[in-house]
Structure 1
Amino acid sequence: MMPRIHQHTLTWPLAVFAVMLAVSWRRWVSIIADSGRELDLPLRLSNGETLYRDIHYLYTPLAAQVNAQLYQWFGARLETLQVSGVICSLLVVWFCYRIARHLLSPAASTLAACSIIIFCVFKPAGNLISPYSYSALYGMLFSLACLLTCLHSLRQRDSRWLALSGGFFALAVLSKQEFALVAGAAIWATVYLVLHQADFEEREIRARDVGQDTILPYIPRHSRDGVSGGAHKLFRTLRSPVLGIMPLSVIAGWWFVTRYDWDLLVNDCHLLFTNLPASLRFYNAHRTGLNAPLASLLQMLGGAGVAVTVACAIAWFSVKAAPSLKRRALLIGLAALSFALLIGFVSRGQWDGSPLRALPLLLLVLLWQARKQTNQGALFIIAAYSLAALLRVMLRVPSGGAFGSFFLPTSLTLLVYVLLRVLPDAIARWSNESDAVTRAQRFGWALLVTALVCTAVVFGIRYRRTYSHLIETARGTFYAPRDAGAAYGEALRWLQQNTRTDEAVAVFPEGSDLAFFSERRMPLRHQIYIPGLVSERDETRVIEQLRELRYVLIVNRPMREFGATAFGQDFYQRLGQALAEQYRVVQICGAPNEPDIAIGDQRFFIKILERKTP
């Protein structure tokens, strides 16, 4: 039996959201890493620069243009985008709650919504208030809207919802390219189910017409018109999402064609993921787990071992009158736990023991089980969407980091579904005890609520202890990590005291948020100098631009995730040599007593360089 929750079930998620918002207040922005692009790029657009041509950008344009418009309406401040992040996060929670209601009771859907708030919205290393990419936030929001409208279309058998899903698909693609696959998976699954459902109903009607239900499996699947009839049904079903996609696609296509040339978008900005430099291939291989596929598979199996251990523990506590089942659950649980511990030892710190590693296996099982059951359409669509969302991290699903928040919301909903519905029903079926369902659900609730409360407390402590250095600027107030924040604040004060407002100041290899918060101007085309991403022509152009700049900042930001560490030494050596020849160090923020400290050191610091007098 489910715990009783007040009839206004959204009260609990809103309360949890408010508490986490208060605990983490102004502690959302991650200085240097990605924040410069997210904060400074919209400002440059609102000042008249052109996306892709004047400012290099790897994503589709919607988020950048929307944020530029927000700056024009509400001012170029950190809080402008963070309010957008809060609103989008609330919408994400609302969409996920409505999605969960297609599978779960109001109480269980409330629990799923709370899990998304804690594990996704307010995860310290990758929250949604100041995300690593607003493109990803908007893309996820529109893809969830696409999923929800697909579910409504299936339930209400109304093609207008499917047409609306096509519009959300187009918006998701215009926000971030990879969400084309995610939103597209929801539409594909819906179309598949609509065709399957229509075919099933047609076979039932024909079986009744001949008066023999026993021959139902032997009646051909196609209509009287054969292949042409199936093609006609496919066309009618696809017509709605295509009509939804077309208007925005035509507008976006016209916008791209009239403003840019193909080579700039495809070969320089890689919007179609073509001609990627080695550094981005290296990065993507690590994200997917394909850099070490065997180790990634072992960790996935280790995650499955943890999940089986938990399931066996719930079964052992839930069963009362089936000693043989309790014995099997105990033996299987101990074996799974031993296997998981062995994998953890072999992984040598590369896996944190999270069962989330095994999510792709769970989703495949759910997808397979639901594919031919006409009453499991919502499960099929949500599982297909969730699996597509995990494709980029298929072999290495993260439990932390900046990206998990965008991949996990619907998967967390399905975990709640498995713990509160699938597993209790299975335990009751195996044990032949009707009241085992109630006991298993109680244990599932206890496990989930305990995990949420403990995680919320840990996250709250982490926010307060880690982000303790207050930084106040004209363009926003926030807390940063103590050591890095001290160096960051020192660099901001130096810029404000020694440079003019709106003066051009270059920042390498990343950190144009320093220019944003100091009200200075980042003049370079690339906001982030990812190894190998800047062409030789652009590197030459930057070297020429240095002649016009008084000051340059070099942030000790290792790029290990891209296969290199030190800017100017391991990558972009020509640029590093030009800086060494033309500039001298005038300030080291974060290591003032070590003038010879080298880029690539373990400590965080910022070097301020001044152009040598000719």
Structure 2
Amino acid sequence: MRNSAEFQGRRLGKEQIIKNWLRLDLWLGIVLVCFAAIAALSWGKLDGAVIDIGREVEIPARLLTGQVLYRDIVTYYGPLAYYVNALALFIFGHRLEVFYILGFLLSLTATVLVYQLAKTLTNASWAALCTVCIMIYCILGSGIFNFVVPYSYAAVYATVLCLMAISCVHYYEQSSYKMKWLIAAAIACGLAGLSKQEYGVAAIAGVLAAINLSGVQKFKIKIHRSLLVILIASLWAFIPLALLAQQASWENIHTSLFPIAKADVLNRSQLFQTSPIKTLQVWWLSLKVFLTTSVVIVLAMVAAHWLVKSKSNSSQNIRNVTEFLISFTFASAGIIVLSKVILRSQFMAVAYPLGELSWFIPVIAGWLLILFTKRHKFSQVGLLGALLVFSLVLNSRWLFYINFYGLYATTVIILFFTLLYYLAQKNRKIVWHYLLICLLIGASFKAGNLIRNYNYAVSSDYGTFYLTDAKTARVFNQTIDVIDASGATSVLVLPEGNILNFLTATHSPSKELTFLPVALPTAQDEENFLTRMRANPPELIVYVEREFTEWGYNTYADFNPIVARWIVDQYQLIHSFDDLIQIYAQK
């Protein structure tokens, strides 16, 4: 009798496990379908072909020629992403599509990790909404702050590694403190720091918070394990740098990763400036967008409910679908009017309700304080603590607002959905529908932009990407044709636009790849640069016109006049394309 009962219990337990997995697969399957759809729409579409992405693809290509990071190539980011991407180019060939595939693999990994973390804190359907939100605003899509063709692959690798570290420390807590998970978390922290410095620091802080907030272990054990995490993470960051220093020198590595001497110049840019006033302004503006758009959506839901309830005699399911569609239609129209007539948001052309959550940062700070003082009232204390501390430490980089949104907002969005899940216990269905409408508005507008506007291809034998501007695409194609026809192998592209180097399989003779005002900030720096160029002169110079209004300059010649004068004195103009690109050859 007892054996029969035990067998029945095991059978029911297995059935429950199967049901749980089927439920997991259903919602994760929906997430993956959304991922595939957005990925297909996003393939090869760039907003900033001139800015940043050229550096990100050209550095790995130059590493394959035997050059050494920090010695022969200047960058302010860690080496991990560049060397991994160089390995991918070595295996799969010199193609732009290699970076797309790498970006999508990183994006897929982040998607699954986000889903699992959000599901642990909420439930499967809520986690699906959270993950799709992060896909829309962070992982995929146009712009330069996504995971596929970002301004910095270092930030993408670091984000994925940080999510891994947080997941591992959660498994450490759930597995009754098995050390293998803590060691894995520490390794992920070290590699995150090796990719992008502030992410590694934030990851370590999050892991240490999880260790010390969770469980009933003795204080002494927690301290020992915290020190172990710091030691392992430091070794995994330090040893690769020590090996690299054998070729690049510690001085070059230090000045590259910690450009303290150039901090004043860097902070001239509006993008990098921080102040309490700016933070408060961003908090207020993002909160205003969230509240006003939320009011529009809630009013649309109320109006749709009233219309369907008063007019329809159909079945409940049909009424629910009709009500939702009417809500979405009313809300979309209201958001468009709100964006264009009232808000005129500086963040985006359309004021997406979940598109800017900087205002949530102070909420996170308050939540963390409550967690520390009343941890017994929370489930998943370690995981929550890790996410809260990580989000605060990472965004302290910008004085606690979310700059470069797509690459700094991931865990903030997870926490936003988690808090909303617990605050809306009695009205979760209504709030879930509100969130779904928010995401459908964001997804539909962004998908429409990707479908309508990215119609102009820039192509070479080494890859293709798509732009929104016909003139820019035409000029890029003409420039590629000229470089290919010249047979040149050494082409200096400045101030930005190194994607032209990659698409023509040429390389710049310069250590610097992007000539922002911080690259050659003094006259002596310009002279040193010209000394190197005279010793190894480029066959062609491609000058890509762009403004530097965020730095207070109109043209490149305004802040590097010595280099600009050297170009026109020592080289002759051979092609000029629509005042966007000028090509110079040696006299």
- TM band (smaller chain): 0.7 to 0.9
Normalising by structure 1, report the TM-score.
0.77
Shift of 1:280: 1.2
- Within 5 A, what are the aligned runs for 1:143-162? 143-158=162-177, 159-162=179-182
1:254 deviates by 2.7
CA shift for structure 1 position 367: 1.5
Q: Which amino acid aligns with 1:383?
A: L
Q: Which amino acid aligns with 1:113?
A: T
Pick one of 467, 475, 488 that aligns with 1:480: 467
Question: In 2 relative to 1, CA 533–7 (structure 1 residues): closer, same or farther, beyond 3 Å?
Answer: closer
385-394 or 351-360: which moved more?
351-360
Structure 1 residue 396: Cα displacement:
4.0
What RMSD over aligned residues (CA atoms) do the two structures have, in Å? 2.9
Q: Does 1:278 align with 2:269?
A: no
Aligned partners of 2:483 and 2:289: how far apart in 1?
51
Does the CA contact (< 8 Å) of 1:508 and 1:528 recur in 2? yes
How far the C-alpha of 1:67 sits from its partner, in A, is 1.1
Secondary structure of the residue that 2:197 maps to in structure 1?
A: coil
Q: Which residue of 2 aligns with 1:47?
A: 65
Q: How does 1:28-427 map to 2 (within 5 A)?
A: 28=46, 30-126=48-144, 127-158=146-177, 159-194=179-214, 197-198=215-216, 230=219, 232-242=220-230, 244-245=232-233, 247-267=235-255, 269=256, 271-283=257-269, 286-287=271-272, 289-290=274-275, 293-305=276-288, 307=290, 310=294, 350=346, 356-371=357-372, 372-374=374-376, 375-376=378-379, 377=381, 378-398=383-403, 403-419=404-420, 421-425=421-425
- Residue aligning to 1:217: none
Secondary structure at 1:588's aligned position in 2? strand
- The partner residue of 1:606 within 560, 581, 586 is 581
Task: Name whichever of 348-357 and 572-581 sits farther off.
Answer: 348-357
> Retained in 1: the 8 A contact 2:361–2:412?
no
What amino acid maps onto 2:584 in structure 1? L
Amino acid in structure 1 at the alignment position of 2:94: A
Alpha-carbon spacing, 1:86–1:537, altered in 2? closer, same or farther (3 Å) = same
- How far apart are 1:6 and its partner, in Å? 7.4
1:565 maps to which residue?
Answer: 554
Question: Residue type matched to 1:386 in 2?
Answer: S
Once residues 18 and 183 of structure 1 are traced to their aligned partners in structure 2, the CA distance between those partners, rounded to angstroms, is: 29
Matched to 1:102, the amino acid is: T
- Give the Å deviation of 1:247: 4.5
1 CA distance for matches of 2:225 and 2:360?
31
Q: Could you tell me which amino acid in structure 2 is paired with residue 373 of structure 1?
A: R
* Closer/same/farther in 2, CA of residues 147 and 40 from structure 1, 3 Å limit: same
CA–CA distance in 1 between the matches of 2:369 and 2:476? 51
Q: Cα offset for 1:388? A: 2.3
Structure 1 residues 163, 119: CA separation in 2 closer, same or farther (over 3 Å shift)?
Answer: same
Corresponding residue number in structure 2 for 1:556: 545
Q: Would the alpha carbon gap of residues 234 and 76 (structure 1) be closer, same or farther in structure 2, given more than 3 Å must change?
A: same
Q: Does residue 1:586 correspond to 2:574, yes or no? A: yes
Give the AA of the match of 1:384: V
Letter in 2 for 1:150: V
1:300 alignment partner AA = W
Distance of aligned partners of 1:459 and 1:562 in 2 relative to their CA distance in 1, 3 Å threshold: same
> Aligned-pair distance for 1:299?
3.8
Specify the code of the residue in structure 2 equivalent to 1:467: Y
The answer as to whether partners of 1:89 and 1:129 remain within 8 angstroms in 2 is yes
How far did 1:380 drift? 2.5
Match among 417, 433, 442 for residue 429 of structure 2: 442
Q: Percent identity?
A: 23
Farther off after superposition, 74-83 or 240-249 = 240-249
Whether contact under 8 Å (1:288, 1:394) holds in the other structure is: no
Tell me what 1:452 maps to. Answer: 439
Residue deviations 1:242-273, cap 9 Å, x none?
A: 45325424522431442333332223x2x124
Specify the code of the residue in structure 2 equivalent to 1:280: L
- Helix, strand or coil for the counterpart of 1:101? helix
| Alpha-carbon distance change, 254 to 584 in structure 1, aligned in 2, over 3 angstroms | closer
**Structure 1 residues 155, 520: closer, same or farther in 2, change over 3 A?**
same
Match of 1:514 in 2: 500
1:476 alignment partner AA: G
Q: Deviations along 1:402-440, whole A, 9 cap, x unmatched?
A: x21111122212222233x23324xxxxxxxxxxx1xx2
- Structure 1 spans left out of the alignment, 5+ residues: 200-228, 318-340, 426-436, 592-604
Q: Which residue of 1 aligns with 2:306?
A: none
Say if 1:25 and 1:261 are closer, same or farther in 2 by CA, change over 3 A. closer
Unaligned runs of 5+ in 2: 1-21, 303-337
Q: Which amino acid aligns with 2:432?
A: W
